[in-house]
Structure 1
Amino acid sequence: MMLLQFRMEVAEKKVVEEVGEYKMAIKILKKSDNKVKFVLSKATPELANALRRAISFEVPVLAIEDVYFTKNSSALYDEIVAHRVGLIPLKGAKGYTLPDECKCKGKGCARCQTKAKLKVKGPATVLAKDLKFKDKSVKPVYPDMPIVKLLKNQELEFEATATLGKGKEHSKWSSGLAFYQRYPSIYIGQKDIKTPEKIVKLCPRNVYKTSGDRLVAENILDCNLCMACVDETKGTINVGSEEGKFIFTIESWGQLSPKAMLTNASKILKKQINGLKIR
C-alpha cells in the first residue's frame, strides 16, 4: 500500500490540509531480478500515469556525462565513442547527490560525481569493464558490453566524469522501462457464439480456449484489448476494463532493482505532491 498526502493552500491564503488517501493494493504476477509485473488496484488513471512517468523519468541514476580524450586512433570519431560510453548502465552508485542539489552548486565534487579512466591498445575489443572508476563500488552493469574494436597499434585513452541525472534530461539516465494497461474484463454471450474454435485461433494473445462447445476466457491477463474478438463477433463478446485496476510492468536496465525503482519513484511523487500549492 501507498499513502499520498495532499497539502493544498486555498485562495484566501489559509492553509488547509486535505488528506486524500490512495491505499493502492499491489499483487505480484511475475518477478525476476530485472523485471516485475503486478496488478495495481484502487488507483486512478491519473495516479497510475504519474507513477509511470516518475519511474521512467524522475528516478536518478549514475551515467557518464563528460569524456576527455587523450588518444583515439580507432575507426570511430570521439563523439561516437563518447556517446557509446555515456549509454553504458552503471551500478553501485550510493550516496551521490544531483549536481543542482549539491553543496558545490554543480561545479563538481566527490558528492555529486566520480571519475573513470580507460587506456587500451590494440589489437583488442574495448569493453565496458575496461573502465576503471575512482569509486570502486561503481561498475558497469554489463561488463562485456563492447565499445569499439581496435586494430594493431590503435589506441584509446580517455578520462570520463559520471554524474547523477534523470531520464527526462537524457535516456542514459533512465533507470528502466515502466508501462501499464487497464485490467481486462471480458463478457461472452455464449448463445450467439457459433464457431468458438475460430475465436480461439483469431486471438493473438491466446486468451481463449474451448470447453466442450463453450468459449472460455482462460488467460484474461494476457489480453491487450486489441478488440479482434469483438469485431469478429460483432459485439457478442464484450471486452472492457475494470475501473481502478491496471496491469503494471517495470523493467530495469540494471542500475536499480524494480523494487527500488518503484520505491524511489513513490517517494519522489509524494514529495512533489506535498510541495504542490493551489492558489
Structure 2
Amino acid sequence: MVEYAQNKRNRVGIEHDRVTNVSSTDFPGYYPGEDHSWNFDKFKKNFKIAIKSLNDTESTFDLIGVDASIANAFRRIMIAEIPTLAVEYVYIENNTSIIQDEVLAHRLGLIPFKANPDYLRWFKKDDPDFEPTDYDTVVMQLAVKCTANPNAPAGATDPKVLYNNSSVYSSSIVFEPQGRQSEWFPDGISPSNPDILIAKLRPGQEIKLTMHCILGIGQDHAKFSPVATASYRLLPIINIIGPAITGDLAVKFKNCFPKGVVEINSKGEAYVADARKDTVSREVLRHAEFENRVKLERQRDHFIFSIESTGAMPPDEIFLKSVQLLKRKCQILRSFKLD
C-alpha cells in the first residue's frame, strides 16, 4: 500500500476539468513516516537518459529521474546561454536591390553559421578602443550581381531562366579566413543551410558587402540561439480500468487518441500501444461510456525532450554544452561563502 502511494505521488492526474497532484512533494517531512530527502545513490539508480532519435538537426530523448526545475534549467540554457556565431556588423559597399540596407543587414544577421565557438573569444563591444582580431571576429563576403541571360529561350518567363543570379541565397556567402582561422576552421565556415533566400535581383542590381560575425548568446539576441525549438513534456500514462474495451466501443476508444497510441488486438480488445505519442487532449474523458474506464496521468520525473537545432551545431552537442554550463553555475554558487 505504501509503495502504491509513493508511485501515485510521482504521477500528475489528468481529469476532464482539471489537473491534480501538481505540487512537488519530494522533500523530508511532507508525508509522515516517509523519508524523501535527496540521496545521491538513489538519484544515481533512478537517473537515466534514453536517446530515441538523433540526426544532424533534431534529437528526441528521455530525461528520467530529475526534478522539473533541472529539466527547465537545461531548456533555458539551450535557448539563451550557449554561444554561437552570427553576423553583428554589415559594411555595405553597394546595394541597388529593392531591399533597404537595414532590412538586408537584419536578414543577414538571422542566418545561422556552422562554426565551433570554442576557438573564438568574446568581442568587447562596449570598449570603444577594442580592435577586432582573428580571435574574436569572422569575416564574410557577399558579392552578387544580376545580369540578363543571353541564352534564355524565347518565350521564357521564369526569372531563374531569364536572368543570372536573380535570387541571392546564403550559399553565395564566402568565408574569408583571417590570421590563424584557416587552421582553426579547416573545413571553413558556412551557413548551416545554403538555400536561405536573402534577396531577389533583376539585371543591373547588385549587392556587395562585408560582414563581421562575433560570438553571442540568445539572451542578448535571438539570432545567437542555437536552437529553433527546445521543449519538453511529461511522459503520458494511460491506464484502462476494469473489463476490456471491445467491439465498436474499442474503435471509438481508439479514435479518441492520436494515431498509434491505442490499437486493437486480434481479440478485438483496445490496448495502449504507445502512450508517449499521446498529446493528452482529454478527448476520451468527454464520453460518458468511458467514465471510470480509463485513467490519464503523467509521470512527473520523466521528461520527453525535443531539440531542433538551427544547424549551428548538432543537437547532442547543444545539450552537452547546457550540462557543462549548469555545472559551472553550480560551481560558482558553491564558491560563495555565506556568513
TM tier, smaller: 0.7 to 0.9
Residue aligning to 2:173? 131
Shift of 1:73: 0.7
- Work out the number of aligned pairs and report it: 261
Q: Structure 1 stretches of 5 or more lacking a match?
A: 1-18
Structure 1 pair 209–163 and aligned structure 2 pair: CA distance change class (3 A)? same
Aligned AA (1:196): A
Aligned AA (1:68): Y
Mapped to 1, the partners of 2:130 and 2:263 lie a distance apart of 59
Per the alignment, in what secondary structure is the counterpart of residue 70 of structure 1?
Answer: strand
Mapped to 2, the partners of 1:106 and 1:61 lie a distance apart of 20
Mapped to 1, the partners of 2:239 and 2:124 lie a distance apart of 53
Shift of 1:235: 4.3
Q: Is the 8 A contact 1:98 1:164 kept in 2?
A: yes
Bigger radius of gyration among the two: 2
Shift of 1:186: 1.3
Within 5 Å, give how 1:141-156 maps onto structure 2. 141-156=192-207
1:96 equivalenced with 2:120 (yes/no): yes
Of 111, 114, 129, which aligns to 2:135? 111
Structure 1 pair 226–172 and aligned structure 2 pair: CA distance change class (3 A)? same
Q: Any idea what the Cα deviations from partners look like across 1:53-79, whole Å, max 9, x if unmatched?
A: 111111111010111211111011112
Shift of 1:255: 0.9
Q: Is the 8 A contact 2:49 2:61 kept in 1?
A: yes
1:140 equivalenced with 2:225 (yes/no): no
Q: Is the 8 A contact 2:258 2:277 kept in 1?
A: no
Aligned AA (2:58): K
Mapped to 1, the partners of 2:240 and 2:259 lie a distance apart of 17
Shift of 1:271: 0.8
Structure 1 pair 235–105 and aligned structure 2 pair: CA distance change class (3 A)? farther
Residue aligning to 1:9? none
Mapped to 2, the partners of 1:237 and 1:90 lie a distance apart of 49
Q: Any idea what the Cα deviations from partners look like across 1:23-62, whole Å, max 9, x if unmatched?
A: 4311111222211111111111110010111111111110
Q: Any idea what the Cα deviations from partners look like across 1:225-261, whole Å, max 9, x if unmatched?
A: 2222233323421111123111111111111011110
1:208 equivalenced with 2:232 (yes/no): no
Q: Is the 8 A contact 1:99 1:105 kept in 2?
A: no
Structure 1 pair 92–197 and aligned structure 2 pair: CA distance change class (3 A)? same
Report the TM-score when normalising by structure 2. 0.71
Q: Is the 8 A contact 1:230 1:238 kept in 2?
A: no
Within 5 Å, give how 1:1-279 maps onto structure 2. 21=40, 23=44, 24-94=47-117, 95-100=119-124, 108-123=132-147, 124=165, 125-135=167-177, 137-176=188-227, 177-191=229-243, 193=245, 195-211=249-265, 212-232=267-287, 233-276=290-333, 277=336, 279=338
- Quick one: percent identity of the two aligned structures? 26
Structure 1 pair 169–132 and aligned structure 2 pair: CA distance change class (3 A)? same
Structure 1 pair 260–215 and aligned structure 2 pair: CA distance change class (3 A)? same
Q: Is the 8 A contact 1:190 1:215 kept in 2?
A: no
Structure 1 pair 99–72 and aligned structure 2 pair: CA distance change class (3 A)? same
Mapped to 2, the partners of 1:20 and 1:58 lie a distance apart of 29
Mapped to 2, the partners of 1:27 and 1:132 lie a distance apart of 39
Q: Structure 2 stretches of 5 or more lacking a match?
A: 1-37, 148-164, 183-187
RMSD: 2.5
Shift of 1:109: 2.6
Per the alignment, in what secondary structure is the counterpart of residue 275 of structure 1?
Answer: helix
Report the TM-score when normalising by structure 1. 0.85
Mapped to 2, the partners of 1:20 and 1:163 lie a distance apart of 43
Structure 1 pair 86–180 and aligned structure 2 pair: CA distance change class (3 A)? same
User: Which protein is richer in strand relative to its size?
Assistant: 1
